[in-house]
Amino acid sequence: MRHFLFGATLAVIIGIMLTQARGPAQGKRPQVRGEWTGKWGIYTPPKDGESPPPQKYADRELRLDCKVVELSDGNWQATFAGECGRPYKYTVQMLGRQAGDVVLFKGTADLGEQDGGVYDWIGRATENEFMGFFTSQKYTGYFRLSRPKR
């Protein structure tokens, strides 16, 4: 009986050590491919003691639609379409990695001088929410998307 308890205890300790050696468990992989819809907006933080500079779309949110496609090995493609005084459509390549039950994204794209130049994106997606921030030399903003209502 003593050998059995020793063996069982040893098995439990080895199991714990192996689990810890693999690192934290990844959660269920969220399904982030597909259609998204929501809003985006511009954010302009005020400088110390100053009012924020006026911007065309400050203090209002505009519609944003997106389609996310998984390419390979953590590479994703997001096509954003919406209105900013005129219709636009941009495709951004992003690198994504799973962190628990979410996918974290980052990407860079040059949208041309007319639309603010080079932008960097960071974001986070679950199965039901895709949100993030973007920044360029001229603009800083955010987006909040969810699955379209069917």
The count of other CB atoms within 10 Å of the CB of residue 104 is 16
Domain that holds residue 50: 34-146
For the segment 40-80, what is each residue's pLDDT rounded down to a tens digit? 998 766 667 766 555 555 557 889 999 999 998 889 999 99
* Residue 122: inside a domain: yes
Tokens found for residue 30: 């969220």
* Residue 20: inside a domain: no
pTM of the model: 0.71
Instruction: Tell me how far apart the alpha carbons of residues 78 and 108 are, in angstroms, rounded to a whole number.
Output: 11
Q: How many domains does the chain have?
A: 1
Residue type for position 129:
E
147, 52 contact by CB (below 8 A)? no
What is the structure's pLDDT at 19?
38
Partnered with residue 142 across adjacent β-strands are 41, 133
79, 94, 96, 83: which is closest to 40 by C-alpha?
A: 83
Range with the poorest average pLDDT among 54-68, 80-94, 131-145: 54-68
* Residue 134: inside a domain: yes
Mean per-residue pLDDT over the chain, rounded: 79
What is the structure's pLDDT at 7?
44
